[in-house]
Structure 1
Amino acid sequence: MDREKKGTKATAVAIFSNCFLTVLNIIVGLMCGSYALIAEGIHTFSDVITSIIAYIGFKIGQKPADEEHPRGYGRAEAISGLVIVLFLAIVGYEIIDTAKDQLLNPILIHTPTIYAAIMAVVGISINIIISSYLIKTGKEIKSPAIEADGHHQRTDIYSSIAILIGIVASNMGFPILDPIVGMAIGILILKTAYSIGKENINNILGKVPDKNLVRRIKRVVDKTPDAYNAHNIKIDNYGPYYIVNLHIQVDGDITVDEAHKIVHITEENIMKKIPDIKSVSVHACPLGLEYEHCQKIDKK
């Protein structure tokens, strides 16, 4: 299954499962008079929205390069990932704010019913499966948007756990534990939002990826006939793919045509051996020149 099909399938599964949980939470909440479940249903509906945002970002990121965007649309996924981070931050803030009100006004603390507990277990089970699937798929196809959506789905596990803890704590005579746990969960969600936001911002700013990629590029060059000493390697991170510029050294006595062929073969080898690299531009320097001198020539 190719990248587009995997991404489309992942977002479709997320949207369907969240629609199911939204309806189920609200219906059960209304039937048993549980505000916690109704609120959870509304919260789960926000997951439907973020899954749609992830899908839009994923589809835009799939668009091929054009005249206005010669390097493609890959960073659209990182932008949609930041929108999802905004939703995460709002959810975290709302949980903390509600917990604060309950701590300041203990009369607001209520005990969810057994139906809420059953529904919480169902929600935890479904969200563990869906969030793990989204995060795994997002990493596999290098989709920042889908991976961020998976982390957002994971926050529903925390809120469902909070409902269960509230039930147990109330039955044990410690209802005050419910808002305390809720506040801790809200802080954890904000921490998750920060981590995902930082990663997506780094993608947009073009942060250099794992140094292992640089080593892989050098190994490919070393195995390419008549190409030597890959240096000045610059990697632009576009989320699902990379765009690379680098210099190599070639024999200074060969013709321009021969140097051009070596450059072309090197570019083909890099993209063939490292599929994550969508485009590569290789510049040839005469063999024997010092690296610093080579740079000075390039700048002229």
Structure 2
Amino acid sequence: MPEQRRMRPLLGTFVEVGAWAPDEADVARAVDAAFASLAQSHARWSFHSADSELSLLNRGPGDKVALSGTTLRLLRAALAMTRASHGAFNCTVGGALVARGVLPDHGGPEPVPVGEADDVVLGSGWALLRRPVRITLDGIAKGFAVDLAVQTLRRCGATSGWVNAGGDLRVFGERSVPVQRRELDDSLTPLGQLRNAALASSRVGGALDERFPGCIVGAPANAPVEVLSVVARSAWRADALTKVAALTPPAERAARVAQLGGCLLAPTAWRQAA
């Protein structure tokens, strides 16, 4: 069965899409459509772009802002995880990240550093911010974009494949994909085979590192530097749960992640989790 794999810079990282389909034309069309889906996600949810739907919402607290159905779905998922995790995952921490210089300021009222889920009201085709919080979807949007790209691959006739956005990976179909995790010393730890599941990893602790650009608000300054990995059914959930794990005491992490629909991985536990 024909296979195709391609890589492009998107979502602030390099994204690889691979797929198998019954014929060459099908697989090429599926991969092209997946990249188009990823580009659209990037345009809608980038905090760095002043013209994104997310930035328009952040600049207009108190106003109903028209949003696409896909953006509203992502916001619902983010707010549901914020509530379910009791704020360990929190999509309203953009103000704190702007103050640190991690994210840009595109104008609007002085932001609240950290808000809560009830600061965001979702309607039919619109959203409204009750207070001047700054929503950042960086802890979930990349995974959500991966899930949408996988849906696109399936819709275009791909029977198996994967989408990997800088470590946010989802694999679907009958074929499995070997996966590795990049450690802090740049070594690669084999994690076995991933099939019909998603994997995400986040760095915790220490100063900002260009290899692991995420910044987790609320993580203790003296936390040990480590890379946490989570497997889940969807990439958005695995992505979000790495942040929950980072803000949970180590002895409680595995149980907390499991309660929220994921599996926290140690390399030795991979085969039981896969």
TM-score above 0.5 = no
TM-score (norm 1): 0.27
In terms of fraction of residues, the more strand-rich structure is 2
Looking at CA atoms only, which structure, 1 or 2, has the larger radius of gyration?
1
